[in-house]
Structure 1
Amino acid sequence: MPRAVPRRLAALAIAGATLAGLAACAAPDPGPEPTQTTDATAAPLFASDEEALEAAVAAYEAHLATTAAILADEVEVDAIRHVSSPEYGEQRVSELTAFLDSGLRASGDVVIDTTSLIERHSTEDEAVVSIYACQDVSGTVLSNSEGEDVTPSDRDDRVPLVLEFRGASNDLRLSGNELWSGDNFC
């Protein structure tokens, strides 16, 4: 398999939040204080910013654990739907299927740290939470169908992300994952 294909797939895997783990780095400048808006008749779904951030981190760690199990070929790709919003789940199924169909597998831990709340608000029946996070993939290895290590030597081991979650306060699910386009805060 050409070396460029594993690099592209590794980038897809990283951008798609393929694995989980923890490390330390500096937090981004969060800008204005996180905001909360709710309907005047609805009770907030989170009692505090800290509670919203904690729920988002737990949801992302569940997403990373499920992704890791899929990429290690331990569970079916459809399992990602249980930790993703419906729309994002469809996107992740497509991405993960393409990764596995290429013959690649991933092992090891992806971790996040240096999390901070961007904002939280509620719509009629769901919470929406956005956070910054650093994702560390240095503990992961990509292998081809022959079991050979094809981890790109020039990959970014730590990447800054903006993550969005939707759902009930006790059932947030990842609904978006983007690389931070500003200065790298990791």
Structure 2
Amino acid sequence: MGIVGGRRRTVGRMVMAACVGSLLLGAAGCTAPSPSEPAPTSNPPTVAPVFASDEEALAAATEAYSNYLATYDASWAHGPSPMDEYLALSIGEAHEDEVQSLAGWEANGWYATGTTTFDSIRLQGVERRSGVVNISTYLCLDISKGDVVDASGSSVVKTDQPTRLPLEVEFETTPPSPTDLKISRSEIWSGTDFC
């Protein structure tokens, strides 16, 4: 989470890499095999999918994000407190962003109050890379029932701050459990607001 004013609004490096990769794969699929290449004689080994369907992957992402927000809200329930349990639910870019954001909050004496919810989650895609499953989603984060306050209890949120934010959120499986999802990236959607 964090205060949204300082967040990047650009499309992440992973999305750029995926776009370039799909262009390269698309071009490679358009070439005919040369006559000297032998035809494959057997099917390559297949890897069993972690999720049986896109619906199952979306349900897992929905559950993971619900837990992420509930842990965030519970961590602040009695004022500033250690955020280790909350931070354990993110990895990579999302984790680094949260650590940096929380350090800024602590330095300013800020803490969150209220509850945070989301809705309208939609699956963008499911991809398996090097044994890790990546689930990309779009969702609407609702911060209308929460606030960020300073040590005196005064709100530090701008009055014109949107209370519903369109996000692009990515999840990754983490070993040893192939279905243990952690948030790996979360950015405000830079396109048309779908919330």
Query: Quick one: which amino acid aligns to residue 10 of structure 1?
Result: I
- Distance apart, 1:114 and its partner CA: 0.5
| Contact 1:120–1:129, Cα closer than 8 Å, also in 2 | yes
Unaligned 5+ residue runs, structure 2? 9-43
**What does the per-residue CA deviation read over 1:101-146, in whole Å, with 9 as the maximum and x for residues that have no partner?**
2111111111110011000021232210000000111101221111
The secondary structure found in structure 1 opposite 2:166 is strand
**Over the residues paired in the alignment, what is the CA RMSD in angstroms?**
2.3
Letter in 1 for 2:180: D
Mapped to 2, the partners of 1:41 and 1:56 lie a distance apart of: 24
Match of residue 162 from structure 2? 156
SS at match of 2:157: coil
Give the distance between the partners of 2:190 and 2:142, measured in 1 at CA.
Answer: 17
The 3 A distance-change label for structure 1 pair 95 and 12 is farther
Aligned counterpart, 2:37: none
Cα gap change, 1:87 to 1:78, in 2 (>3 Å): farther
Structure number with greater Rg is 2
SS of residue in 2 equivalent to 1:150: coil
The 3-state SS of whatever aligns with 1:170 is: strand
Q: How does 1:69-88 map to 2 (within 5 A)?
A: 69-72=74-77, 73=79, 75-88=81-94
After TM superposition, give the deviation of residue 71 of structure 1 in Å: 4.2
Aligned residue-pair number? 155
Percent identity, aligned pairs only, is 34
Task: Kindly state the Cα deviation for residue 161 of structure 1 after the two structures are TM-superposed.
Answer: 0.5
CA displacement at 1:91 relative to structure 2: 2.9
> TM-score under structure 2 normalisation?
0.71
Q: Which residue of 2 aligns with 1:129?
A: 135
Deviation at 1:169, TM superposition (A): 4.4
Q: How does 1:6-155 map to 2 (within 5 A)?
A: 10-11=3-4, 40-72=45-77, 73=79, 75-155=81-161
- Displaced runs of 4 or more, over 3 A: 69-75
In the aligned structure 1, how far is the partner of 2:155 from the partner of 2:80?
19
Please give the TM-score of this superposition, normalised by the length of structure 1. Answer: 0.74
Distance 1:12 1:63, change over 3 A: farther
> What do the CA deviations read for 1:36-94 (whole angstroms, capped 9, x no partner)?
xxx95211110011110111111112222222234454641332332112453233122
The Cα shift of 1:153 comes to 1.2
Tell me which of the two structures has the higher relative contact order, counting C-alpha pairs closer than 8 angstroms and 6 or more residues apart: 1
Instruction: Name the CA distance, whole Å, in 1 between partners of 2:141 and 2:128.
Output: 26
Q: Indicate if the aligned counterparts of 2:142 and 2:163 stay in contact, CA closer than 8 A.
A: yes
